[in-house]
Amino acid sequence: MIYMFLANGFEEVEALCPLDLLRRAGLQVTTVGVGGEMVIGAHGIAVQADVPEAMFRDNNPEMVILPGGMPGTKHLDASRTVETALHVTAAKGGYLAAICAAPMVLGKRGYLEGKRATCFPGFEEYLQGATVESQRVVRDGRVITAAGMGVAMEFGLALVAAMKGQEAADELRRAVLAD
C-alpha cells in the first residue's frame, strides 16, 4: 500500500497532483490525516483524508509520501505516526518520497545519508548526509525527492515510474498532456 501523509498547512498541489497521478495509474493510495481526518492546506483548501493518523496500521507499506508546505512539514516532522511509517517502510525496502520542505523530515532521521536529494531552496541544511542536487526531482535508490510545487507533476510521474515502471509513467505523461 502507498500512504500519503497530510498535515494542516500542507502544500495542496504537492499532495493532490501526485495523488491524482498515482490513482490514474491504477495504484491504491491512502491519505492519512495527521491530527485528524479533515486537513486544511496552506492555502485554505480542506481535504478529507481517507483515515486519521490514529487509525494508521500497516506493517508493510510500499511507499510513504510527504508533501511539503508550511507549517505542514513541521507537523509531519512532529508526528510519531509519520516517524513509525518511515521507519517501517525503510526497513521493509519500500520507497520514501518527499517534496519541497518535506525532505527535511527524511534528512533529520538519517534516510538521506549517502543519497542524492533535492528540496525547496533554504532547506538544504536539513538534508543531513545527502549530496544536495539542483535537479527538480531526484531519485536515488528507494528515495525520491523534489524541489517544490512547480514540479509536482514531475514528482508524481517519478512516483508512478518507481511503482509501475518508466513505460507506465511515460504513457500517463502522454495521457494527461504533460509534454
Reported as a single tens digit per residue, the pLDDT across 84-137 is 999 999 999 999 999 999 999 999 999 999 999 999 999 999 999 999 999 999
Q: What is the DSSP letter of 2?
A: E
- Asked if residue 120 is part of any domain, the answer here is yes
- Asked if residue 31 is part of any domain, the answer here is yes
> How far is 127 from 120, CA to CA, in rounded Å?
11
- Asked if residue 153 is part of any domain, the answer here is yes
- Asked if residue 131 is part of any domain, the answer here is yes
Active site residue 100: yes
The pLDDT, as a whole number, for residue 90 is: 97
Domain containing 34: what range? Answer: 2-172
The catalytic residue among 16, 100, 143, 158 is: 100
CATH number for the domain that contains residue 30: 3.40.50.880
- Asked if residue 130 is part of any domain, the answer here is yes
- Asked if residue 33 is part of any domain, the answer here is yes
Nearest to 151 by CA among 103, 108, 119: 119
Structural domains of the chain, count: 1
12, 47 in Cβ contact below 8 A?
yes
Q: What is the DSSP letter of 30?
A: E
The pLDDT, as a whole number, for residue 101 is: 98
- Asked if residue 177 is part of any domain, the answer here is no
Distances (CA, A) of 122 to 93, 99, 104, 179: 29, 13, 11, 29
Determine if the pTM surpasses 0.85. yes
